Structure 1
Amino acid sequence: MRILIDMDDVMADAVERFFEWYERDFGIRYTKADIPGKHFYQIVPEAHRQIVRSYPHQKGFFKNLPVIQDAKEVIEALNNLHEIYVVSAAMEFKYSFTDKYEWLDEHFPFIHWKHRIFCGNKHLVKGDVLIDDHDFNLSFFPGRPIVFTAPHNLHYTEYERMNGWLEANKFFEGLP
């Protein structure tokens, strides 16, 4: 089975980086419980929204992101049974490509460079399963779309939902 896995907020915790940088810039610390069903920029004061939206465009935003809990162990186990590809829309943010590549080398060295797809648009990438946190990637996917729970997608109801990596067994156990 060919399983396509998104990086940001599926393998790497980008939401946490928004919180870190916002605290650095404004002295206020938010948590995921503060943003159910929203993107972080939607809940900060209007005067701060452009700054928050600029974070991913800044050098270092994607460097050393925390790994989503249990992602490494579960994805490595899946990689031993299935054809795993990491698919990340890394072209939107000028500095993200190198940081994401190095992050995969450090945290997921078992994913060969030939199984890393950095693109601007995921519509051309094909597989059996796509695990992603955004509707705009899942909605076009002709295979089995699985939404990975993140604060901004709690209202999605049209996809199978994976709330964490320990739930992967219920999606892939016993499948070829």
Structure 2
Amino acid sequence: MARIVIDMDNVMADLTAHYVNSYEASHGIKLDLQALHGVPEGEVLPEGLVHKLLRSAGFFRTAPVIPGSQEVIKALMEKYEVFIVSAAMEFPLSLKEKLEWLNEHFPFISWHNIVFCGSKTIVEADIMIDDYDKNLRHFKGRQLLFTAPHNVHLADYERVNNWEDVAAALGVEVPAARV
């Protein structure tokens, strides 16, 4: 059975929308998501606020789920060995919060299939789904770049824009009403 590793942030959890919503809630200013295309993730918000949010209690726990991820990951698990791999060590508060978030939104994923690490360069699998070039460039298997505003200009990878694209690329069927 082929092994797939799936990133969490901006692949399963919509951190970009979470940054924008958090900024609007605290500053009363709504940012245009289209204006963020091509902007490095750490510069999405003014004044280095992304790094403050990433170190804030509750931030990772309250991120919205990217539509279709739950249904497609369930379908993938019927055909592949699936692991969730997140480089969580830089933000120690995220460890507990990410696990709680996964348990709430993806209760069908066993703790045996969750890996929190510092660097993904040690990860070995057949397929990696990630939004970051730094994680994909050293990966030796099939590399699927999940579209996020910070990576729209990258062209070196097989791109998937959403979970419907993931299902099609990996040959799993999910009823259209569920994705």
Same-fold status (TM-score > 0.5):
yes
Please provide the CA RMSD for this pair: 1.4
| Alignment pair present for 1:84 and 2:89 | no
SS at the partner of 2:65?
A: coil
Alignment match, 1:110: 108
Cα deviation per residue 1:116-158 (whole Å; 9 max; x = unaligned)?
Answer: 0000111111100000000000000011111000011000100
Alignment match, 2:157: 159
101-110 vs 30-39, which deviates more? 30-39
Shift of 1:33: 1.3
Q: Distance in 2 between matches of 1:29 and 1:49?
A: 15
Q: Normalising by structure 2, report the TM-score.
A: 0.90
> Aligned ranges for residues 72-151 of structure 1 at < 5 Å?
72-151=70-149
Identity %: 43
Q: Distance in 2 between matches of 1:137 and 1:171?
A: 19
Aligned residues: 171
SS at the partner of 1:95?
A: helix
Letter in 2 for 1:13: D
Q: After TM superposition, which residue ranges in structure 1, 4 or more long, deviate above 6 angstroms?
A: none
Letter in 1 for 2:126: D
Q: Distance in 2 between matches of 1:127 and 1:40?
A: 26
Q: Is the 8 A contact 2:43 2:50 kept in 1?
A: no
Q: Unaligned regions of 5+ residues in structure 2, if any?
A: 173-179
Q: Distance in 2 between matches of 1:63 and 1:117?
A: 17
Q: Is the 8 A contact 2:44 2:50 kept in 1?
A: no
| Alignment pair present for 1:30 and 2:28 | no
